[in-house]
Structure formats: structure tokens, C-alpha cells
Amino acid sequence: MDQDLDTSTQPHQLHLEVAGDRGARYPCPQCAALCPAHDFSEKRWRHLNFFQHECYITASVPRVTGPEHGGGHLVEVPWARKGSAFTLVFEKAALALVVESHKVVLR
């Protein structure tokens, strides 16, 4: 995992980079069969702030080609829902904020 603090932005941005292993096998999102990575697609998620810095996770997500479902399936990552631009903990925190602000309104 790589990290980089971008101080050219305000607030500063912390970028965490995760890279998949080229030789590894990954579960097909359709049938869970372990398949070799066909190629990698770079994706980015907004994560919770790290102190005052905005934090992003960038990962080379493997696309698998399997005997059953053919090629080009993006492997699911453990930290985000499929297709979401936010990490799960970010969504959870955002949701808690929404609930909290509604409580304030209801009182």
C-alpha cells in the first residue's frame, strides 16, 4: 500500500493506493469461482477524513475472466458497495450524520 499527501489542494488530500497482485486469483463477482485477473481498472473512493485531510483510496481493481461468465467482471472490494464512490465507513458516518440532524429537527 502506498500513501501520498497532496498539499497542493485545500484542504490537503491524503491518497492511499492499493494494488492487486497480478499473479493472484480473485473471486468472480457472479459465481465466486477463483479466476485469474484479466486486467486492472483504477477506481477511487472517498474515505473518512484523516485528521483535517480529505482521504481517498485508489485501487487497481482486478477484472476477472472466468470459464463460466466470460471476461471483464470487476472484482468486489471489501471496503465499498458495488458501484459506490464512497467507502462503507464513509457511508455509515454520513448516514449517522443524517439521522442525527433529523433527530435535532424532530425535537
Task: Report H helices in the chain.
Answer: 88-106
Provide, rounded to whole angstroms, the least separation between the CB of residue 21 and Zn ion.
Answer: 20
SS3 89: helix
Contact 71, 63 (CB under 8 A): yes
* Binding segment toward Zn ion, per CB under 5 A, in 36-44, 53-61, 63-71, 83-91: 63-71
- 101 three-class SS: helix
**Candidates 6-14, 28-36, 40-48, 50-58; binding stretch for Zn ion (CB under 5 A):** 28-36
Tell whether residue 31 is a contact of Zn ion (CB under 5 A).
yes
For position 69 contacting Zn ion by CB under 5 A, the verdict is yes
Whether the Cβ atoms of residue 43 and residue 34 lie closer than 8 Å to each other: no
Should residue 68 be labelled a site residue for Zn ion when binding is judged by CB under 5 A?
yes
What residues line the site for Zn ion (CB under 5 A)?
28, 30-31, 66, 68-69
